[in-house]
A and B are shown apart, each in its own frame.
Chain A
């Protein structure tokens, strides 16, 4: 099988072939590593610092985590929005949809359940 340049779809994780020089694909991994280290450092800094408004910390951590996952997807797994990557992106979109349904659905339902449930001491008294 020869590496063909005329592919219409690219597999995730696929970097264009380098028959002689692997340093060409290196830049993607270096950029990804740099961005990931930066985002991780900011996350750990924000979690420990007292400089920022405390209630904003979970939101900031969530935003940083989503950004870092995006960095990993693009620079390490090579999932991009290019026209040669449509199937992978569609599968990813479906996966994200299911993940969001599971997370928000669980949290929503259980929060309502907790809210509507009789306090524990009253349940004990009824028994």
Chain B
């Protein structure tokens, strides 16, 4: 808030000014931020479960035998770049630039799809080696934690396509732009969770 506005507020028009400055965009963004934080709290429960069960391999394979860090590095690169292109897409939407918006959204979709494909391939490889979620408590916790993130990314991909279709059909209306804001927040938050995932699950699992 600028100093001038504070002065105005002190002169008795504070109530009127407050009604004006809190735009719908801010309220929507704040509400969605609260939702994202509750989603992160849910993930923390999965993380706690994984941390508790990390060594309960029941004689089965552990992280050191299973994890392929090259695969994880490619997955990480895909998701990080997709977070960047998602930022470009929201810039394009705010500037009403279709060329930037559609290109960046398409790039985000391709990178997100590549991430899901790599993860599905990894899961299928584990199951083929007899290291499915039923093998040990460690693997149950691993599949629920990483799989939950994968489900979020899949849902995000569907949402991404919906946003492209809505912008195409309805244009850059304020309500569509607010949905785009929520989508970009969701996508960035997924990347934050992936940072915790690759550090705790893959890197610590392979290193220790």
Contact = CB atoms under 8 A, between A and B. Distances in A.
21 contacts: A6-B21, A7-B22, A8-B21, A11-B181, A13-B184, A15-B94, A18-B91, A22-B92, A26-B91, A33-B80, A47-B204, A58-B207, A72-B192, A76-B87, A76-B188, A88-B33, A91-B30, A95-B41, A102-B45, A106-B51, A107-B52
Q: Dominant SS at the A interface?
A: helix
A21 B95 contact: yes
A64 B204 CA distance: 12
A22 B203 contact: no
B138 interface: no
B195 A72 contact: yes
Given A17-B94, A37-B80, A88-B33, A102 B189 contact: no
Contact of B26 (A9, A47, A77, A106): A9
Contacts of B48: 102-103, 105-107
A76 to B, nearest CB: 4
Contact of A13 (B23, B188, B207): B188
Interface of A: 1, 4, 6-15, 17-22, 25-26, 28-29, 32-33, 36-37, 40, 43-44, 46-48, 54, 57-58, 61-62, 64-65, 68-69, 72-73, 76-77, 83-84, 87-88, 91-92, 94-95, 98-99, 102-103, 105-107, 110
